[in-house]
Amino acid sequence: MLIINHLTKHYKGSSKGVTDLSLHVMPGDICAFIGHNGAGKTTTLKCIAGIHGYDAGELRIGGISLHDDPLACKQMTAYIPDNPDLYEYLTGIQYLNFIADIFKVPAGERKERIQRYGDEFEITESFGDLISSYSHGMKQKLAIISALLHEPRLLVLDEPFVGLDPKASVILKDRMRKLCDGGGAIFFSTHVLEVAEKLCNKVAMIKDGRLIAEGPMEEVVKQGNTLESIFMEVVNDVGAD
Amino acid sequence: MMLAQIRIMARLELCNLLGINVLRFTKDKRKKKRAVMLSVLWVLLIIMLLFYVGGLSWGLVEIGAGEDVPAYVIAISSMLIFVFGILKAGSIIFRKQGYDMVVSLPVRKGAVVLGRFLRMYTENLLMAALVLLPGIAVYAWQTRPDVSFYLCAFLGIWSVPLLPMTGAVLIGALVTGISSRMRHKSLAASTLTIVFVFAIMYGSSSLTSMEGMESLEIMEELSGMVSDMLGRFYPPAVLLGTAIVNGEIGRCLMYTGLFLSVSAVAAAVVSACFQSISRNLYTTAARHDYQMGDLKADTALISLCRKEFRRYFSSSIYVSNTIIGPLMGCVLSGALLFTGPERVKELLPVPVDLAVIAPFLLAGTFCMMTTAATSVSMEGKEWWLVKSLPLTARVVLDAKILMNLILMLPFYLVSEVFLILALKPGLQDSFWMMVIPAVILLFACVYGIAVNLHFPVLDWENEVSVVKQSASAVLGGMGGAVLALLGGVGACLVPKGYSGGYRAVLCVLLLGTAGLMYRKNNRIDLREL
């Protein structure tokens, strides 16, 4: 579903970025992307979402090159940033309707989906209010609903659990599993390693813009270890080299 | 204690004045390159302003009104500071960004307000200096005054921004205070600001009008009248100007003290209501009573265009800075209808038929500040959304142009009806009367987008920095107005027999250039912004 081959992206005038990163996320995968602050997680996710260009390498979503046909790739992807800066001058329903228009979701289906997800996340009653009146968690819920609205095949999430209440976190995890059961794929960054370990079947670790470990969760986290201990071990090993 | 707090808050406000701090520490070479280009443009504009004010001052000296030059330049700079100040004061003093952080600090409200006052004062001081210095230099060159004149002039430059800025802040606070209590805060603030600006323009034009005087008489009597006119228009300009001309240091000090006292009282008043106004302003009513109804599907273009309209009307500073031009176009066309073209011809002796020049003037008012020129920058921190959605650059930019054109449509139609009824032009002139403003407006929108794509400001903290201070606002927003002015001058110079041909060639050229720019705009990779 998502193929990253030798992705390199550096910011002008800065040594920060991503170097020669290769990674495959298959249909049905939930892949956690972990690394310390400034390691290059958000840069990678923004490249996949088509927000940033990249210097070298290849990104393919659903078999289509992001470089050759970005619109087709974006049509099957949904991205949620770590801090959802949404259009604060719109109401929740106006925002969702806008997103549905862009992704060409038919009127009947969008109503049914908005109602369903809104009720699940207990935010339907606030859809008539301006987004500027929403709390961080409510904005996060709205961003999640807007991401699910067009039934994407690939979900790209940056710290999706930050700001969510416990119930919403459970619902999101459930939605993520359902999406993957239906043949979709999820690639998300997180600092909550316990969640990653329980939820994901794959993990990728990044340090200073380079991928330092990657693979199925059960292979990376060997018996008797935790993802946290493996992460610390790998990060320190690479740091010592 | 209070002084230390004021110093800290002022340093916070001033450290990134004109984006200096970001430029100092950014590692983005592209940003630095843009800043250099922008600085060159600003220098050119400043040189033009210096020559313009210097020329005006020279003209006053030539007609024997040299003694009025300081008062004249004080009045001009005060008017600029006052009008532009009204349009931005509320947004600067009651800025939302950082409000929660600032009020949570152990800092007095007065220090916060004074910090913002000082920021406005510094900006206005720069503007005052740019207008005053050439006038004072011309006067000094002509009259060779003694050293006391220079001391007074130096003092005067520091004191000139105080009164108009204070007036603007008080009106800005009043507008913000009233609108903060209303449901549609932004719309109320825009309406009140526009009403104030038009009232001031009307008031100042009545005070400076020379009823019953023909243009020749005016020229002959001008030297004596300038002083009277300035006295009626803005008495402090005459008082301070006279004190500067006479080198009366004591008087200059007294006026400076007086102006400072007025500003201090105003700052105290604004400080007293700062928190209550801010609280009302930033408390958004949430009803939590939405019930799902039917939803309508639209095309991406229509949906984006609707979003652009909502963005536009959500910002009072965006509305008030861009709607004044077209409103003025309607008012002037209406005035022409009611006063009749003969009266206008007496006041404005142009060498061509009014029907030829009118469409250019109308286009000039419509393009004084196009929304398209700042529409990309106005996306701000939400720009990531557009970039992540399956949208082409073309449809995103089309929506911004479409919004600008639809917004102008009612003003265009009303003004055209007024103009055609007032001037009763023939078939050919009627055609050009309708086509020329439309073509120039279309060109201005495409040009505005092109400039904004070259000079995007997406990491802004305050809308003022986009709508009033960005390169796009200055170069892009006014591009159409300058073009209309040049087109109008051309129309005056072209012999009558070639008038139709001139207008046709101009329209074809503009449409062709707009077409080329449009294609280039649409080829941009939005990720690169």
Specify whether B383 is located in the same domain as B516.
yes
Q: What is the pLDDT of residue B34?
A: 76
Per-residue pLDDT of B408-432, as tens digits, reads: 999 999 999 999 999 999 899 999 9
Residues in chain A with CB shorter than 8 Å from the CB of B304 are 98, 102
A29 in a structural domain? yes
Query: In chain B, count of helices (H) and strands (E)?
Result: 24, 0
Specify whether A143 is located in the same domain as A171.
no
Specify whether A91 is located in the same domain as A209.
no
> Longest Cα pair distance anywhere in chain B, in angstroms?
79
Domain residue limits at A214: 2-76+154-240
Per-residue pLDDT of A205-232, as tens digits, reads: 999 999 998 999 988 887 678 888 888 8
Q: What is the pLDDT of residue B216?
A: 46
Residues in chain B with CB shorter than 8 Å from the CB of A105 are 297
CB–CB contact A129 B286 (8 Å): yes
Give A34's strand partners.
A205
Q: Does A16 touch chain B (CB under 8 A)?
A: no
Specify whether B273 is located in the same domain as B356.
no
Q: Does B97 touch chain A (CB under 8 A)?
A: no
Q: Which of B282, B460, B468 is nearest to B381 (CA)?
A: B460
Specify whether A213 is located in the same domain as A192.
yes
CB–CB contact B287 A128 (8 Å): yes
Specify whether A158 is located in the same domain as A71.
yes
Q: What is the pLDDT of residue B403?
A: 97
Specify whether A142 is located in the same domain as A92.
yes
CB–CB contact A53 B298 (8 Å): no
Domains identified in chain B, total number = 2
Specify whether B269 is located in the same domain as B309.
no
Specify whether B428 is located in the same domain as B312.
yes
CA of A84 to nearest chain B CA: how many angstroms apart? 9
Question: Residue A48 is inside which H or E element, if any?
Answer: helix A41-48
A115 in a structural domain? yes
Report how many Cβ contacts below 8 Å link chain A to chain B.
126
Residues 206 to 235 of B: which have CB under 8 A from any A CB?
Answer: none
Specify whether A93 is located in the same domain as A212.
no
Specify whether B323 is located in the same domain as B252.
no
State which residue of chain A sits closest to B526, comparing Cα positions: A51
Which of B29, B304, B311 comes nearest A13 by C-beta? B29
Dihedral angle computed from the Cα positions of residues A167, A173, A174 and A179, in that order, rounded to the nearest 10 degrees:
150
Which of A50, A86, A133 comes nearest B286 by C-beta? A133
Q: Does A92 touch chain B (CB under 8 A)?
A: yes
State which residue of chain A sits closest to B301, comparing Cα positions: A102
CB–CB contact A85 B298 (8 Å): no
Specify whether A53 is located in the same domain as A161.
yes
A227 vs A203: CA distance, rounded Å: 9
Determine contact, residues B487/B508, Cβ cutoff 8 Å.
Answer: no
A39 in a structural domain? yes
Q: What is the pTM of this model?
A: 0.84
State which residue of chain A sits closest to B25, comparing Cα positions: A13
A191 vs B126: CA distance, rounded Å: 48
Amino acid of residue B37: M
CB–CB contact B382 A86 (8 Å): yes
CB–CB contact B297 A107 (8 Å): yes
B112 vs B115: CA distance, rounded Å: 5
Which of B27, B29, B292 comes nearest A111 by C-beta? B292
**A159-175: string of b/e by CB count within 10 Å (b at 16+)?**
bbbbbbeeebbebbbeb
Distances (CA, A) of B430 to A80, B356, B420, B497: 54, 9, 7, 17
CB–CB contact A50 B525 (8 Å): no
Specify whether B352 is located in the same domain as B237.
no
Q: What is the pLDDT of residue B224?
A: 61
B77 in a structural domain? yes
Specify whether A92 is located in the same domain as A109.
yes
CB–CB contact B310 A102 (8 Å): no
A140 in a structural domain? yes
A82 in a structural domain? no
Q: What is the pLDDT of residue A120?
A: 94
Query: In chain A, count of helices (H) and strands (E)?
Result: 9, 10
What's the distance, CA B363 to chain centroid? 17
CB–CB contact B307 A103 (8 Å): no
Cβ contacts of A45 within 8 Å, gap of 6 or more: A33, A79, A156, A157, A158, A187, A189
Q: Does A89 touch chain B (CB under 8 A)?
A: yes
CB–CB contact A101 B295 (8 Å): no
Q: Does A64 touch chain B (CB under 8 A)?
A: no
Is residue B370 classed as helix, strand or coil in its secondary structure?
Answer: coil
Q: Does A201 touch chain B (CB under 8 A)?
A: no
Domain residue limits at B323: 300-528
Q: Which of A151, A186, A201 is the last residue of a domain?
A: A151
B293 in a structural domain? no
Determine contact, residues A144/A121, Cβ cutoff 8 Å.
Answer: yes
A126 in a structural domain? yes
Q: In degrees, to the nearest 5, what angle opens at C-alpha B502 toward C-alphas B499 and B503? A: 90
ipTM confidence: 0.89
Residues 358 to 387 of B: which have CB under 8 A from any A CB?
Answer: 381-382, 384-385, 387
Residues in chain B with CB shorter than 8 Å from the CB of A101 are 297-300, 302-303
CB–CB contact A111 B385 (8 Å): no
Specify whether A159 is located in the same domain as A218.
yes
If phi > 0 it is left, if psi is from -120 to 50 it is alpha, else beta; for residue B41 that is alpha
Q: Does B391 touch chain A (CB under 8 A)?
A: yes
Q: Does B37 touch chain A (CB under 8 A)?
A: no
A195: exposed, middle or buried (Cβ count in 10 Å: 0-12, 13-18, 19+): middle
- What percentage of chain A carries pLDDT values higher than 70? 97
Which of A49, A90, A132 comes nearest B388 by C-beta? A49
B461 vs B381: CA distance, rounded Å: 10
* Mutation choice for B interface testing from A12, A95, A101, A116 by most B CBs within 10 A: A101
Residues 254 to 273 of B: which have CB under 8 A from any A CB?
Answer: none
Residues in chain B with CB shorter than 8 Å from the CB of A47 are none
Residues in chain A with CB shorter than 8 Å from the CB of B390 are 70-72, 74-75, 102-103
Per-residue pLDDT of A171-199, as tens digits, reads: 999 999 999 999 999 999 999 999 898 99
Domains identified in chain A, total number = 2
B20 in a structural domain? no
Q: Does A103 touch chain B (CB under 8 A)?
A: yes
Mean pLDDT computed over every residue of chain A: 91
CA of A87 to nearest chain B CA: how many angstroms apart? 7
Which of B310, B382, B388 comes nearest A74 by C-beta? B388
Distances (CA, A) of B523 to A59, B387, B396, B510: 21, 14, 12, 20
B184 in a structural domain? yes
Which of B298, B392, B527 comes nearest A51 by C-beta? B527
What's the distance, CA A124 to chain centroid? 23
Q: What is the pLDDT of residue B348?
A: 66
Specify whether A166 is located in the same domain as A54.
yes
Specify whether B244 is located in the same domain as B319.
no
CB–CB contact A85 B28 (8 Å): no
Angle between the N-to-C axes of helices B393-423 and B354-366, in degrees from 0 to 180, rounded to the nearest 10:
140
Specify whether A59 is located in the same domain as A176.
yes
Which of B289, B311, B525 comes nearest A89 by C-beta? B311
Which of A101, A126, A133 comes nearest B303 by C-beta? A101
Specify whether A64 is located in the same domain as A15.
yes
Q: Does A79 touch chain B (CB under 8 A)?
A: yes
B367 vs B444: CA distance, rounded Å: 7
Specify whether B369 is located in the same domain as B400.
yes
CB–CB contact B284 A115 (8 Å): no
More confident residue, B225 or A24: A24
* Mutation choice for B interface testing from A51, A75, A93 by most B CBs within 10 A: A51
**Positions of chain B with pLDDT lower than 70, given as ranges:** 204-227, 347-350
Per-residue pLDDT of A162-172, as tens digits, reads: 889 999 999 99
